[in-house]
């Protein structure tokens, strides 16, 4: 089992290269956004970004999940290629038709989203960029399924470099503002398809399999509903702030959200890219239940360490990235959003049980219900507590979301998850973050940085005294430490034993 976990970790690192480059590009661009754009324009950009997520979820119909679910059920390579071509062609045609229809109503969409028709051209760019991103996701998903981690990361990095270059050029040199961001994205996606053309063509068998297409659509339809609801769950906070408090508060909240999202964009997504194919491959393995349980614990543990660091240094990150003082209060919501992401990571691991059991209708009902609850909580709490209310609403929704998944997953695909350890992780991280927030009141900057580093370093040690680690895990940690401290001597000792 440890060998499988190590393999997962290696794949996570490779996939992480693409995601890290994405987030680094995002971090590089944030100071440019906060300097070249007004706080209100930054809020408008945020609304466009989350609108894109809704469009992609709606247009995609969760076909990529159908590809993941069916790809390994088909053993014949030619049929796998036929499956990919069938789904690729469907997504291409479906998204083209719907995008064309939505372009006709761009003025109405601008009025709906921004209370003005002056942003109709931005809506057009948003629609084109979203359609291209959707198609590229299907290609990237195939790379993951085939464990083409290097190709996945290389093409992602190239696209992001191109996107970042044109974004900077359009915003700074051509003064294109928010429009320049989406013009750069469209160019980068076109170049991505040019680079990936040979790979895409290689995985085509030009034959439409209508039977499988129907099966995938039946499978994906409930997931499509849940995907849209899931996106609404993720973006309801910013939409609610936009309509209740305005674009300025939306911009401030979005900065805190983007910084906390480094946890998801770099680490959670990278790990999820790596583990998804492995989890489905192990469905029939005799040790799969134990593997699923430990994987959930290890992934939650890793995300907790990262969330702890991002939360504790949240103030420093905001001050570093923001070029206007109006943004500085954003650091106060980062710990709340980070804790909600820890909970969401565990929820993600639990969700596989329902997917394996093919209980997609239950997933859909849960997500729709939680999305409605989340919208209600956002409206209620934002009205009284502004951006802090949005962060609290997100945390409450994530907790209930996770509990609902755990109840039904345990009912249809029971896995003995280490709940006690997960609770210890979350409660201890919350306590340490609270201590770090008190440290912010000190006057010596270097002392603050040192104490915060000490808090992070003490966290895993404290878990040891709370009996978090198993004996085999402690031995593995000691072995890793010895190897890192003295790799030559460690290898000699191993040779003597053999």
Q: Where are the domains of the chain?
A: 2-441
Model's pTM, two decimal places?
0.78
Residue 498's pLDDT is: 46
Residue 494's pLDDT is: 45
Residue 10's pLDDT is: 54
pLDDT per residue of the chain (498 residues) written in tens, 0 to 9: 545 555 555 555 555 555 555 556 667 788 888 888 888 898 999 899 888 888 888 887 778 777 877 777 777 778 888 888 999 999 899 999 999 999 999 999 998 888 888 889 999 999 999 999 989 988 988 887 787 877 888 888 888 889 989 999 999 999 898 999 999 999 999 999 999 999 999 999 888 888 888 888 887 777 777 778 878 888 889 989 998 988 899 999 999 998 888 777 667 766 666 676 677 677 777 777 888 888 889 889 989 999 999 999 999 999 888 878 888 999 999 999 999 999 998 998 888 788 777 777 788 788 889 989 999 999 999 999 999 999 999 999 999 999 999 999 888 888 899 999 999 999 999 999 999 989 888 888 889 999 999 999 999 999 989 988 887 767 766 665 555 555 555 445 544 444
Q: How many Cα atoms are found within 13 Å in the side-chain-facing hemisphere of 401? A: 31
Residue 271's pLDDT is: 67
Q: Between vectors from CA 57 to CA 56 and to CA 61, what angle results, nearest 5°?
A: 110
Residue 9's pLDDT is: 53
Using an 8 Å Cβ cutoff, are 452 and 438 in contact?
no
Residue 71's pLDDT is: 77
């Amino acid at each position: 089992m440890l060998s499988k976990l190590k393999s997962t970790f290696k794949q996570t690192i490779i996939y992480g290269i693409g995601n890290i480059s994405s987030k680094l590009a995002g971090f590089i661009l944030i100071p440019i956004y906060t300097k070249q754009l007004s706080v209100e324009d930054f809020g408008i950009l945020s609304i466009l970004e989350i609108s894109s997520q809704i469009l992609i979820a709606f247009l995609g119909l969760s076909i990529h999940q159908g590809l993941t679910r069916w790809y390994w059920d088909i053993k014949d390579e030619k049929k796998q290629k036929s499956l990919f071509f069938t789904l690729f062609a469907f997504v291409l045609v479906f998204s083209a038709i719907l995008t064309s229809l939505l372009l006709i109503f761009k003025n109405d969409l601008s009025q709906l989203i921004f209370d003005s028709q002056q942003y109709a051209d931005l809506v057009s760019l948003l629609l084109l960029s979203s359609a291209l991103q959707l198609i590229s996701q299907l290609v990237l998903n195939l790379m993951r399924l085939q464990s083409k981690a290097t190709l996945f990361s290389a093409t992602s990095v190239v696209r992001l470099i191109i996107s970042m270059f044109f974004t900077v050029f359009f915003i700074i040199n051509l003064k294109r503002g928010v429009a320049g961001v989406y013009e750069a994205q469209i160019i980068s996606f076109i170049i991505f398809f040019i680079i990936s053309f040979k790979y895409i063509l290689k995985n085509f068998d030009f034959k439409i399999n209508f039977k499988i297409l129907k099966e995938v659509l039946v499978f994906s339809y409930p997931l499509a509903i849940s995907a849209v609801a899931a996106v609404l769950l993720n973006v309801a906070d910013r939409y609610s702030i936009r309509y209740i408090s305005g674009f300025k508060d939306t911009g401030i909240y979005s900065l805190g959200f983007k910084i906390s999202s480094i946890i998801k964009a770099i680490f959670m997504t990278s790990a999820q890219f790596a583990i998804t194919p492995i989890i489905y491959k192990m469905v029939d393995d005799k040790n799969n239940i134990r593997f699923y349980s430990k994987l959930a614990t290890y992934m939650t543990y890793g995300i907790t360490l990262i969330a702890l660091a991002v939360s504790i240094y949240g103030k420093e990150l905001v001050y570093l990235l923001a070029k206007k003082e109006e943004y500085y209060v954003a650091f106060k919501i980062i710990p709340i959003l980070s804790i909600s992401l820890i909970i969401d990571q565990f929820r993600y691991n639990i969700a596989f049980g329902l997917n394996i059991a093919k209980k997609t209708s239950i997933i859909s009902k849960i997500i729709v219900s939680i999305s409605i609850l989340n919208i209600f909580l956002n409206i209620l709490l934002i009205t009284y507590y502004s951006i802090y209310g949005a962060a609290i609403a997100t945390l409450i929704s994530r907790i209930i979301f996770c509990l609902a998944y755990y109840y039904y997953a345990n009912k249809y695909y029971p896995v003995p998850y280490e709940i006690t350890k997960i609770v210890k992780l979350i409660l201890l991280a919350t306590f340490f973050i609270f201590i770090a927030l008190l440290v912010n009141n000190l006057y010596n900057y270097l002392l603050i940085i040192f104490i915060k580093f000490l808090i992070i370093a003490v966290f895993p040690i404290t878990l040891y005294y709370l009996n978090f680690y198993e004996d085999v895990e402690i031995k593995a940690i000691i072995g890793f430490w010895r190897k890192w401290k003295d790799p030559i001597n460690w290898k000699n000792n191993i040779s003597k034993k053999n």
